[in-house]
């Protein structure tokens, strides 16, 4: 490459001074920004005690929660009563009355065998002794009135915790041996009784057998078709509450849609008052913009708490919270779009003597309508997710149901189910929104 002469360089410097003589911030601005960001992150690390927070985190408990999302736990309490081992199930029992449980087998002498990973890892439970098998080796745990006591030489899977003995078989499950019972947690992949609860006549049918039943000519219930019967049993599943969850999901969607629609209808005319080039009145412009600032400066969650106290739990506070917040946000966006319209079209309408209403209708609205539609659809998508959050504070919908399931600390599989439903709905609504934008505005909306 041939070097340029000094005269040519001087000529180029005079012609393009911004290229050859950049300011200090243009040359080193990016580097300074990166250094400041790193310094700020280091400050946050120490100010918020990030290191100790990670060190003190209950990661084992977090792992259990994650496992509960994609698996389920059968949790019988095997009580010692009158010389026999009697299983007692929680209110969310996963098995039907009298069902045969392949991993929990009662014996003729009143004892019980609980298997975890085959016969090599099992518990042989009686009222006086529990033989804990780990990798085929038995370790007898003695049951006395003072507690349960393991032998001295045991593997890491068996832990003596004061008067009780803890047994850990990994993902397969755990057991807690006490003086009067053995609390067992047996874990399996999948979601237990997702189709039908144990009290349903269809309990034990999987998805394929249910589909086969729908197309079967023989009616299970003479009062309704098999398709109606299967759907009825699925919706009325007492363990998973599909019907209630779907109704709460519909409430969430209604909150998002109605709140966004009302905000759009109110923000649209108010934005014309806020726009300085449309309404030639400075006090009106200032007042309307401050009104928008007030509405959007209060977070949607705060509005939801406020209206919940006023109207009580339900979808009305959720709709009002979305309506108030989005009226402020959409009003600001709409006003800014109006202030950036091309005035030539307005001037053309005014030159032919059109009324102010006609000037705005034909000279302004066609220019800003794509922006208005696009922003309203975006807020509609966003509010589908936001309605879930505000529902958790009492505004109803699936958010409240989600919070209830989290509060039990044992229904994390149901939490995962509702999260997947929300993700599916957001995905569907995102595609619907894109399709509408494509129709109204054109492919560029994507």
Domain ranges of the chain: 18-57, 74-189, 242-445
Burial of 385 (0-12, 13-18, 19+ CB in 10 A): middle
Distances (CA, A) of 391 to 64, 92, 252: 26, 25, 8
Query: How many whole angstroms separate alpha carbon 381 and alpha carbon 399?
Result: 16
Contact (Cβ atoms closer than 8 angstroms) between residue 132 and residue 123 = yes
Provide the pLDDT for residue 149. Answer: 92
State what percent of residues in the chain have pLDDT above 70.
90
Query: Rounded to whole angstroms, how far apart are CA atoms 333 and 336?
Result: 5
Task: For residue 371, give Cα distances in angstroms to 263, 311, 341, 363.
Answer: 15, 34, 11, 15
- Regions of the chain with pLDDT less than 50: 444-446
Reading the block at residue 127, the tokens are 């009222």
CB 122 within 8 A of CB 104: no
Backbone angles phi, psi at 71, to 5 degrees: -145, 175
Residue 165, beta-bridge partner list = 160, 177
The three-class DSSP label of residue 261 is helix
pLDDT at 354: 66
Instruction: Report the C-alpha gap between 430 and 298 in whole angstroms.
Output: 26
pLDDT tens by residue, 129-138: 999 999 999 9
What is the CATH superfamily name and number for domain 242-445? MetI-like (1.10.3720.10)
What dihedral do alpha carbons 135, 138, 142, 148 form, nearest 10°? Answer: 0
pLDDT at 287: 92
What is the reported pLDDT for 445? 41
Global pTM reads 0.77
Closest to 300 measured CA to CA, from 386, 374, 206:
386
State the DSSP code for 444.
G
Angle at 161 between CA 155 and CA 164, to 5 degrees: 100
pLDDT value for 122: 92
Report angle CA 109, 112, 118 to the nearest 5 degrees: 130
Within 10 Å of residue 107's Cβ, how many Cβ atoms? Answer: 13
């Amino acid at each position: 490459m041939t070097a340029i002469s000094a005269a040519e360089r001087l000529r180029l410097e005079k012609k393009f001074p911004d290229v050859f003589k950049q300011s200090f911030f243009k040359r080193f601005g990016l580097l300074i920004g990166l250094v400041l960001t790193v310094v700020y992150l280091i400050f946050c690390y120490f100010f918020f005690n990030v290191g100790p927070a990670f060190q003190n985190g209950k990661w084992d408990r977090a792992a259990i929660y994650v496992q509960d999302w994609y698996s389920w736990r059968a949790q019988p309490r095997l009580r010692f009563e009158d010389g026999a081992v009697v299983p007692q199930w929680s209110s969310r029992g996963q098995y039907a009355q009298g069902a045969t449980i392949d991993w929990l087998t009662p014996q003729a002498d009143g004892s019980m065998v609980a298997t975890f990973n085959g016969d090599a890892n099992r518990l042989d439970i009686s009222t006086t002794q529990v033989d804990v098998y780990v990798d085929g080796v038995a370790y007898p745990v003695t049951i006395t009135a003072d507690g349960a006591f393991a032998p001295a030489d045991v593997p890491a899977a068996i832990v003596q915790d004061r008067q009780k003995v803890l047994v850990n078989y990994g993902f397969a499950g755990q057991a807690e041996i006490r003086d009067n019972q053995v609390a067992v947690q047996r874990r399996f992949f999948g979601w237990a009784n997702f189709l039908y609860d144990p009290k349903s006549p269809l309990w034990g049918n999987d998805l394929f057998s249910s589909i086969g039943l729908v197309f079967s000519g023989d009616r299970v219930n003479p009062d309704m078709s098999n398709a109606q019967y299967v759907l009825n049993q699925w919706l009325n599943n007492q363990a998973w509450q599909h019907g209630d969850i779907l109704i709460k999901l519909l409430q969430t969607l209604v909150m998002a849609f109605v709140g966004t629609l009302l905000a759009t209808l109110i923000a649209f005319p108010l934005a014309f008052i806020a726009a300085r080039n449309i309404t030639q009145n400075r006090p009106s412009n200032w007042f309307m913009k401050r009104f928008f600032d007030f509405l959007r400066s209060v977070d949607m969650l705060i509005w939801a708490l406020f209206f919940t106290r006023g109207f009580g739990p339900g979808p009305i506070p959720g709709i009002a919270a979305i309506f108030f917040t989005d009226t402020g946000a959409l009003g600001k966006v709409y006003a800014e779009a109006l202030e950036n319209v091309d005035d030539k079209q307005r001037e053309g309408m005014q030159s032919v003597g059109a009324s102010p209403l006609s000037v705005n209708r034909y000279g302004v609205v066609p220019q800003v309508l794509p922006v208005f539609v696009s922003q309203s659809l975006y807020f509609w998508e966003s509010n589908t997710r936001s309605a879930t959050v505000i529902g958790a504070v009492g505004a109803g919908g699936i958010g409240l149901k989600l919070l209830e399931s989290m509060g039990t600390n044992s229904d994390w599989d149901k939490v995962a189910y509702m999260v997947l439903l929300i993700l599916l709905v957001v995905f569907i609504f995102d595609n619907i929104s894109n399709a509408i934008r494509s129709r109204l505005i054109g492919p560029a909306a994507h």
